[in-house]
Structure 1
Amino acid sequence: MRLRLFTDPEYASPVNQMHCAMLIPFLGKEESAFWSEGTNVFDAYKANGPGYFELADTMDDAQFAVLPSTWHRYLADGTTEVALQFAQKAADAGKQVIVFHERDFDYKFPAPNALLFTPTVEGKRRSNEFGLPAWVPDHMSGPAPLREKQQSPSIGFCGQVTRPRVKTRAIQFARTSLPRLSERRMSGYSAPLRKSYRYKFLRAKAVQTLLDTPGIDTQFLLRGDFFAGANKKTSADAKTEARQSALEVFLGNLRDCDYSLCVRGVGNYSLRFYEIMAAGRPPLFFDTGCVLPYDGLIDWHKELVWVPEDQHDRAGEILLAHHRGLSDEAFVDQQKRVREVWEEWLSPDGFFRNFYRHFQPN
């Protein structure tokens, strides 16, 4: 089903006139992050997007309006009034406006006709909020080599882990318990940090839980900084080299393990989740009330090794039970299935190919 969309580049953020991912095949100038810039992340969607959407010449001829920049871009640039003017223009025409957020914090879009696609929702989900994948490259240009089942499951993790100390505990208390410090403000729109800081040490707890579970081969590379500190390098060349080195170590950890640990970060989602899926490795997924893409169509509890929020301390037992319950053939098949789900639903091309399904009756 091909959707007819209307947008107006004149309403892009005037400070940084970059466009949301949906509009890349038509307008280009995408907003990208350092982990995706200059990669193959949007190649397939750029080629196929005109088969999924067409741009209408007028708002009246369209099924939906699309905010040209991401909501994060307007917030960061201090140009939110431009976004709200476009939303009002759509409302005056009787149209809903599709808004993409694409960043960590749960910033709401304050227009009643908005359909907000966001990777992170803290707390209760609103009826107009939908899960959005993180746009990650196909780093290996295909899944990691298939692994054969061993008696003991191996699980990897390569990334930043914050351990509880006196100072970090004090910050956690302030953010979760003191009203004036429990929300973050940007351009007048608030997003609560209370939930985020509740989970500040969840990764450290998850790592320790798995280390303490007999029968699991843990292959953990724990970092003290995001991206192994690559972003702290002073020169651009040194930063690029350090990022590439960190990425290669991360991908090697994925290749060498049966499963990969997936726990939320600052936002209530995980960039790592999408990288794990693209690599064809089943995530051990710690649920924190995350809103995952297409959750009305995909039974994520069955697709992932799911650790319910009230059973985080049983993660090791859950992984062992899952692994022992698989035949040799089923163990291989789950790797193929994970990659298939990423290709069909979570990659930029797969996500936008199925985008019309958000508006079909369940």
Structure 2
Amino acid sequence: MVKIYTEQSFLKENNRKRIFPLLFDMAYQPNNNNAISNFILTDSLSQADVAIFPLDVVSFLKNDKSNFFHNWIAKMSQNKIPIWIYTAGDFGFTFKNENVLTFRMGGFNSKLPINTCILPSFVNDPYNKILKNDFFVLPKKESPTIGFVGNANGSFSKFLKEFILYLKRGIINLRYGYPEDHHPFYPASKKRYKLLYKIQKDKRIQSDFIFRDKYRARNENKEKTTFEFFKNIQDNLYTFCLRGNGNFSVRFYEVLIMGRIPVLINTDVRLPLEDLIDWNKHCVIVSEDSIIQDLLNFHSSKTELELEEIQTNNRKLVLERLNRVDYFVQISNKYLESK
């Protein structure tokens, strides 16, 4: 049982969307048996195994006029308690303190400090409420089948719009001193379009792509487009996954929970629990230049039984290890010493 010290006064309904992920289950889902059996809140610093800052640090620091956060970190450090913080958003925030373990969605692996943990996207299971059928494995076909539904547009106007939004965000961060890491501009929509078009032209691969001009087709029927998104993943053994504004892909985890195989374009990504999970057993990690040949090589090297096992194991990986509570159980086992 891990004892957690936090500022419980922040665990209010209006903070629901920016709470530290583990505390979400403890504060807003109090009957979660998995959380109850592994973690407990304590008011005693002397009894605590870890101190967790309760809110997303990026949003909190934007309005921290009293320097509450840094004073809180200093207080926890004086008490020699391991500290965990959470930085949300596409870009995240690098907090340089060797006593602090930072959790974030993405960033560049070659630049991230060693005391940074990547959070998976804690996605919901689409089978029950959206697709309304049970999980099943796909058989191996002679040619790999790869799907994609999403924002992919190669036009200059789309490129310009993304660049303007990127500049606007950077100016606002600079003007107000907002604590977000600087990321170079990445034209995600144009990149997707270029790579998907390249795959489409190769007759050795069966492609099943639906191009959108906006993220999740925001101006269309949400129920219809969400169904199309997950049905496309279900129908294809592989799904194309490339980063968005931030250097991570939510689609990557949606493909895993669907029990299919992500084809992840490596943009210097760091994946969750890399020292505990052999990600090469769950996905195809490729470069932009070699995506087609890498996919063909992977597909031809696997038997039908091996591909079926990967599908089953991918779904189990998310359901049993990459949900909010079990993820932090593994983190606790790695970083915390029980008292």
Q: What's the offset of the Cα at 1:303?
A: 2.3
Question: Which shifted more, 109-118 or 276-285?
Answer: 109-118
Which residue of the partner structure matches residue 179 of structure 2? 189
Which residue of the partner structure matches residue 229 of structure 2? 250
Q: What's the offset of the Cα at 1:243?
A: 2.5
Written as runs of structure 1 = structure 2, the 5 A alignment for 1:199-214 is 201-214=190-203
Q: What is the total number of aligned residue pairs between the two structures?
A: 329
Equivalent position amino acid for 1:344 in 2:
E
Matched-pair identity in %: 23
Which residue of the partner structure matches residue 38 of structure 1? none
Which residue of the partner structure matches residue 300 of structure 1? 279
| Aligned pair partner of 1:137 in 111, 124, 139 | 124
Please state if 1:341 is matched with 2:317: yes
Equivalent position amino acid for 2:311 in 1:
Q
Equivalent position amino acid for 1:88 in 2:
A
| Aligned pair partner of 1:265 in 207, 225, 244 | 244
Verify the 8 A CA contact 1:183 1:193 in the aligned structure 2: no
Extract unaligned runs of 5+ from structure 2.
Answer: none
Which digits, 9 at most, give the CA deviation of each residue in 1:221-276, with x for residues without a partner? 1100011124xx8xxxxxxxx32222111111011111111111111101111111
Which residue of the partner structure matches residue 325 of structure 1? 301
The CA distance in 2 between the partners of 1:181 and 1:79, in whole Å, is 21
Equivalent position amino acid for 1:87 in 2:
I
The CA distance in 2 between the partners of 1:55 and 1:12, in whole Å, is 12
Written as runs of structure 1 = structure 2, the 5 A alignment for 1:270-281 is 270-281=249-260
Verify the 8 A CA contact 1:156 1:220 in the aligned structure 2: yes
Equivalent position amino acid for 1:54 in 2:
I
Written as runs of structure 1 = structure 2, the 5 A alignment for 1:1-362 is 2-10=1-9, 16=15, 19-28=19-28, 46-75=32-61, 81-109=67-95, 111-122=97-108, 124-141=111-128, 144-165=135-156, 168=159, 184-185=173-174, 187-194=177-184, 196-197=185-186, 201-230=190-219, 242-307=221-286, 311-359=287-335
Extract unaligned runs of 5+ from structure 1.
Answer: 29-41, 234-241
Equivalent position amino acid for 2:8 in 1:
P
Tell me the secondary structure at the aligned position of residue 339 of structure 1: helix
Q: What's the offset of the Cα at 1:112?
A: 4.7
Change (3 A) 1:349 1:11: closer
Which residue of the partner structure matches residue 32 of structure 1? none
Change (3 A) 1:68 1:263: same
User: RMSD value over aligned CA atoms?
Assistant: 3.1
Question: Which shifted more, 266-275 or 138-147?
Answer: 138-147
Q: What's the offset of the Cα at 1:349?
A: 3.5
Verify the 8 A CA contact 1:13 1:74 in the aligned structure 2: no
Tell me the secondary structure at the aligned position of residue 197 of structure 1: coil
Q: What's the offset of the Cα at 1:202?
A: 2.6
The CA distance in 2 between the partners of 1:170 and 1:74, in whole Å, is 29
The CA distance in 2 between the partners of 1:80 and 1:326, in whole Å, is 58
Change (3 A) 1:198 1:156: closer
Change (3 A) 1:170 1:102: closer
Verify the 8 A CA contact 1:49 1:352 in the aligned structure 2: no
Q: What's the offset of the Cα at 1:295?
A: 0.6
Query: Normalising by the residue count of structure 1, what TM-score does the alignment of the two structures yield?
Result: 0.80
Equivalent position amino acid for 1:86 in 2:
W
The CA distance in 1 between the partners of 2:217 and 2:73, in whole Å, is 40
Which digits, 9 at most, give the CA deviation of each residue in 1:31-62, with x for residues without a partner? xxxxxxxxxxx79x922102121222211211
Verify the 8 A CA contact 2:94 2:181 in the aligned structure 1: yes
Change (3 A) 1:160 1:79: farther
The CA distance in 1 between the partners of 2:214 and 2:104, in whole Å, is 25
Verify the 8 A CA contact 2:145 2:237 in the aligned structure 1: yes
Which digits, 9 at most, give the CA deviation of each residue in 1:78-124, with x for residues without a partner? 67833333222212212232112232113223555321011111350
The CA distance in 1 between the partners of 2:200 and 2:138, in whole Å, is 22
Q: What's the offset of the Cα at 1:337?
A: 1.5
Change (3 A) 1:112 1:349: closer
The CA distance in 2 between the partners of 1:263 and 1:227, in whole Å, is 15
Verify the 8 A CA contact 1:119 1:291 in the aligned structure 2: no
